[in-house]
Amino acid sequence: MVRADREELASIHRECVRKFMQVYSELVAAKECYNAGLRLLGFLSSIAAYTSRALGLNDDEKILRELVRKLYAEKGETLKRVSDVEGLVGLTLLSRNLDCKELKWAEKKLKEIVERRRDFITPQLAEARILLGEKSAILYDNTCAAVCINLQDKTVPACTDTEGLNAREREVVELCLRLKRILSA
Could you tell me the residue ranges of all domains in the chain? 3-184
| Percent of the chain residues topping a pLDDT of 90 | 78
Q: Both ends of the chain: CA-CA distance in Å?
A: 10
Alpha helices in the chain (DSSP H): 3-23, 34-55, 58-80, 85-97, 104-116, 123-131, 137-141, 146-149, 167-184
What's the mean pLDDT in 125-144? Answer: 93
Length of the chain: 185
**Which tens digit of pLDDT belongs to each residue from 3-26?**
878 999 999 999 999 999 999 999
